Amino acid sequence: MTVPFHTADLLPLFLHFVMLSLLAVGGAITTAPDMHRYLVGEQHWLTDAQFTASVALAQAAPGPNVLFVAVLGYNVAGMAGAFAAMAGIMLPSTTLALWATRWGRSRRETRGVRAFTLGLAPLTLGLLLATGWVLTEPARDSPGAMLLVGLSAVVMARTRLSPMWLVALGAAVGAAGYA
């Protein structure tokens, strides 16, 4: 069950995404488990199925992957939610990127910067695994859907096929009632 969203909840929603923006060192998708924890587990604004459907919907449209945040926000609180979530996830990271670009370009090879990227790489791996786990939640009781998870993981890891085709296949299999 979900809990109704009030206008006063827009500020905490915005602030949660502001915080996640600064933690998204491995890309926005690595913060998806925390979005799930907050939106589904703690606030009950979305169900598991709605959460995964939001991420899936974002795969069906072109553009940077970060736009799944707008769909999550939209499904929590309509247009206002979409803009609160999107502004939250974009503002800190873009400000920081502009400020740090010149600083970072000349220091890319220094020990500190290299230790930062190399040290965080295994954490990014853990967060991607966690994201994969969270997204399979609605699929776990359906053999067809789990087969789709495995198939798309193998095809993407081993071939250079555009993910667009896999998304289309998933939509077709699901619409036919097998997922």
The reply on whether position 76 binds other proteins by CB under 8 A is no
Q: For other proteins, how many residues bind (rule: CB under 8 A)?
A: 108
Nearer to other proteins, 3 or 113 (CB): 113
The reply on whether position 58 binds other proteins by CB under 8 A is yes
The reply on whether position 156 binds other proteins by CB under 8 A is yes
The reply on whether position 138 binds other proteins by CB under 8 A is yes
Q: Which residue has the tokens 């905490």?
A: 12
The reply on whether position 108 binds other proteins by CB under 8 A is yes
Give the whole-angstrom CA distance, residue 104 versus residue 111: 12
The reply on whether position 133 binds other proteins by CB under 8 A is yes
In the list 3, 11, 44, 178, the residue contacting other proteins (rule: CB under 8 A) is 178
The reply on whether position 80 binds other proteins by CB under 8 A is no
In the list 14, 77, 86, 88, the residue contacting other proteins (rule: CB under 8 A) is 86
CA count, 13 A, side-chain hemisphere, 2 = 16
Residue 141 C-beta: closest distance to other proteins, Å: 11
Q: Which residue has the tokens 């997204």?
A: 135
Nearer to other proteins, 14 or 170 (CB): 170
